[in-house]
Amino acid sequence: MEKNDGPANRRRIPVDEAIVALLAQVEPVSDHERVIVLDAMGRTLVEDIPAPADVPPFDYATLDGYAVRASDTDGAAPDQPVSFEVVGVLAAGVVASRALGKGEAYRILTGAPVPPGGDAVVPFEGTDGKGFGGWDGSDAMSLGLAEKRVAVRVQVQTGADVRRRAEDQRAGEVLLRSGTRVRPAEVAVLASAGIFSVWVHRRIRIGVLSTGDELVARDHVGPLGPGKIRDANGPALLALVSRDGAIPVDLGQALDEPDSVRASLLKGVDQGCDLIVTSGGVSMGDRDMVKHVIRDDGEVSIWSIDLRPGKPFTFGRFHGVPIMALPGNPVSAMVTYELLVNPVVRRMQGDRAAVPVEVMAIADQEILNDSGRENFVRGVARIDDRVRGSVEWHVRPTGPQGSGILTSMARANCLIRLSPDTKRVESGGRVRLRLMDASPLW
């Protein structure tokens, strides 16, 4: 069995290059399905969505007041009120029975359509109108109707306090583009447009396999046997797959034997996995079988990435199914998932924006990189608003960065990205950050 990766001085691929190379290896899945809008959360649209109609469908009042013709308020001032005849009351959902004439006003409440002929709303506070200060439970509406005239004390412009028809969505215009990932905001836009179902890429099925003779069964209760440890990577990777909106397929655990690894991977192929993610058994040791099995049954195309934590990594195909073999160290497994697997999952599910956002931050303490590789340091990032007017990100490492220190992942909300030739960042220096979860950590 071949163990060599090729020439020892083979160039390690920079992370960004590796991501580009990985994205070139996979395609969005071609099957689509029509789902109701709520089920589209986290999925990617495969169609441009045109607005079926104008939203809002009519001009309406944005506050309580009087609908008027703006030109009729010309010259109105606190000491020079202009008197209007009140011709009716319009509440939300009520349409005027007639057009507004010169010198006429409708009492109007927020959300009610502006009557034809009217083009502005005078806020109640700009008039001597009565009964608007909150409904007192009495006969407020008839009180309004009893009001025959109102004095307007402010001059308003055309369109004042009127929300315009179609200001949000214009019939026929593209509302959402194909390739957009649906978030709660997209759900709201679709709902406001009266769209009940959309075409999206189907979710991909991702097989997750842990490897290692030292792993006890996931449901093992009681003391661990000598030399045995619990399987953190299986659950971690299954959780990451779920977070990314794909369907996790639990392939369990394999021993460090070629036949065991092969049988587990074949299970993944049989179960229709679109992608398989493994952890462990991918370095150069005597018992590291995963890469050999992939090579024997398929091909290995990308490995040796200039990355810490997580150098041992392999992308290939196993019986035609894309496979990503991640290192066994739990931190390395999670970090390589975030950096390398997540973009692939997004692309396979049709997301146009496969690569996540990074921000610049100020290091609150010295950060060292003695790895000679691109180093992703677990960090805690926050916006510092103690300094008046400052909205800068600040960051500090979580502490010791050993790739076995899994609790540091739970303490981190970002990865601080240090290039191979950055040996040291001083306190106060600037660093690139990749936010994993921007909520504050305490």
Q: Which residues form the interface with ligand AMP (CB under 6 A)?
A: 210, 212, 214-215, 229, 231-234, 279-283, 327-330
Which C-beta is closer to ligand AMP: that of 336 or that of 413?
336
Residue 214 has a CB neighbour count (10 Å cut-off) of 16
Residue 408 has a CB neighbour count (10 Å cut-off) of 20
- What is the smallest separation between the CB atom of 410 and ligand AMP, expressed in angstroms? 15
DSSP-based helix, strand, coil % in the chain, nearest 5: 20, 30, 50
Residue closest to 151 by CA, chosen among 75, 64, 90, 85? 85
Query: CA 216 to CA 221: how far, in whole Å?
Result: 10
Applying the rule CB under 5 A, the residues between 337 and 366 that interact with Mg ion are none
Which C-beta is closer to ligand AMP: that of 197 or that of 283?
283
- What is the smallest separation between the CB atom of 285 and Mg ion, expressed in angstroms? 7
90 binds, among Mg ion, ligand AMP, none (CB under 5 to 8 A by kind): none
Selected binder of Mg ion within 281, 316, 330, 397 (CB under 5 A): 281
- What is the smallest separation between the CB atom of 281 and Mg ion, expressed in angstroms? 5
Q: Are 315 and 17 in contact (CB under 8 A)?
A: no
CA 249-252-253 angle, 5° bins: 145
**Rg (alpha carbons) of the chain, rounded to whole number:** 31
- What is the smallest separation between the CB atom of 256 and ligand AMP, expressed in angstroms? 8
- What is the smallest separation between the CB atom of 239 and ligand AMP, expressed in angstroms? 13
Selected binder of Mg ion within 88, 248, 328, 330 (CB under 5 A): 328
Which C-beta is closer to ligand AMP: that of 23 or that of 405?
405
318: Cβ contacts below 8 Å, ≥ 6 apart: 265, 268, 269, 276, 293, 294, 297, 298
Selected binder of Mg ion within 113, 212, 316, 330 (CB under 5 A): 212
Query: CA 282 to CA 290: how far, in whole Å?
Result: 5
Q: Are 280 and 211 in contact (CB under 8 A)?
A: yes
- What is the smallest separation between the CB atom of 235 and ligand AMP, expressed in angstroms? 9
Query: CA 191 to CA 171: how far, in whole Å?
Result: 15
Site string for Mg ion, 166-205 (x = CB under 5 A): ----------------------------------------
Alpha helices, DSSP H, located in 306-416: 330-336, 342-348, 407-411
Which C-beta is closer to ligand AMP: that of 75 or that of 227?
227
- What is the smallest separation between the CB atom of 237 and ligand AMP, expressed in angstroms? 9
231 binds, among Mg ion, ligand AMP, none (CB under 5 to 8 A by kind): ligand AMP
Name the closest residue to ligand AMP (Cβ).
328
- What is the smallest separation between the CB atom of 210 and ligand AMP, expressed in angstroms? 4
356: Cβ contacts below 8 Å, ≥ 6 apart: 342, 343, 434, 435
Which residues are bridge partners to 362 per DSSP? 394, 430
SS3 262: helix
Which C-beta is closer to Mg ion: that of 87 or that of 331?
331
Q: From 31-39, 212-220, 310-318, 337-345, give the range in contact with Mg ion by CB under 5 A.
A: 212-220
283 binds, among ligand AMP, Mg ion, none (CB under 5 to 8 A by kind): ligand AMP
268 membership: H or E segment, kind and range: helix 258-270
Task: Give me the residues that bind Mg ion (CB under 5 A), please.
Answer: 212, 280-281, 328
